[in-house]
Amino acid sequence: MSRALEPRPSPAAEAAATPAAPPPAGAGLPGRGATLRVLTALACALLGFLLVVQLRATEGLGERLDIEREEDLAQILADLTTQSDRLQEEITDLRLTLLAFANSAETEELALQSLERRLDELRILAGTAEVEGEGVRLTIQDPGGQVTQELLVDTVQELRDAGAEAIAVNDVRLVASSAFVTRNGRLVLDGQPLEPPLVVVAVGPADTIAEALAIPGGAVDALESRAEVTATVEPLAQLSVPARAEPVPFVFGEPLPPERG
């Protein structure tokens, strides 16, 4: 399975980091995790305080009973019963609050993890993240310049059909808007000239992709049908696909707001 490689922090950022810094997973959402931790700590402290108050009240009860009259004892007992009931209610409320805080923190953590996974998927699709994982390397030797843009388009399509999640040709990352063209007799991918040998790397199920490329009449056969062209497929347990130098700008398209029911 492919995964996005995290960008390495600069030395200045590492020097500024402290042990108390929050984990990167929550860095994008300001304050919510810290607020939950503070509220939970306050609730725990208040719960402990109430337990201590109840214990001390019980310890002092024996001394008061020795000096009070019988009619006063009944009032003391009634007061203590009322106070004990009130303290038990507050303790129960605090325990429920602690449970709600714990559930809220767990829910927030799961939501953050889900958002991070979705963000990684979008970065892979947009080509803005370097990707590593198992896959294949297809090396195309073409000394006579016989490989056409149509052959490369068909090859990339076969890679995608076989499950490739990220593809690059001569270190140029392919995205949804990528295009092969021919200019002055030279192959060009997204404005970058492609010089032989052409090295295509794809992250995905290595064995499945290798078999798809090698089927009779498939991409390898089509490439090698051209004079002096050879195509070598290497399944690899680990390889990397580079990120694009710059993200693709969107000039005309804008996302629609979600529909509200």
Rounded distance between C-alpha atoms, residue 230 and residue 55, angstroms: 86
Average predicted confidence (pLDDT) for the chain: 78
Average pLDDT value for residue range 145-169: 95
Predicted confidence (pLDDT) per residue in 104-156, tens digit: 777 788 778 888 888 888 888 888 899 999 999 999 999 999 999 999 999 99
132 within 8 A of 240, measured Cβ to Cβ: yes
Closest CA to 120 of 156, 165, 158: 165
Containing 104, the helix (H) or strand (E) segment is: helix 70-126
Closest CA to 124 of 161, 192, 174: 174
Range with the poorest average pLDDT among 20-34, 126-140, 146-160, 213-227: 20-34
Containing 36, the helix (H) or strand (E) segment is: helix 32-67
Rounded distance between C-alpha atoms, residue 94 and residue 81, angstroms: 20
Range with the poorest average pLDDT among 8-12, 37-41, 116-120: 8-12
242 within 8 A of 130, measured Cβ to Cβ: yes
Domain ranges of the chain: 27-126, 131-241
User: Does 221 score more than 50 pLDDT?
Assistant: yes
The CATH T-level fold of domain 131-241 is Alpha-Beta Plaits (3.30.70)
Containing 200, the helix (H) or strand (E) segment is: strand 198-203
User: Does 23 score more than 50 pLDDT?
Assistant: no
Question: pTM of the predicted model, to two decimals?
Answer: 0.60
Cα–Cα distance list, 57 to 60, 65, 74 (Å): 5, 12, 16
Q: Where are the strands (E) in 128-194, listed by range?
A: 131-141, 166-169, 172-173, 180-183, 186-189, 192-193
Rounded distance between C-alpha atoms, residue 155 and residue 219, angstroms: 5
Average pLDDT value for residue range 41-56: 61
pLDDT at 27: 44
Rounded distance between C-alpha atoms, residue 165 and residue 209, angstroms: 11
Rounded distance between C-alpha atoms, residue 60 and residue 75, angstroms: 16
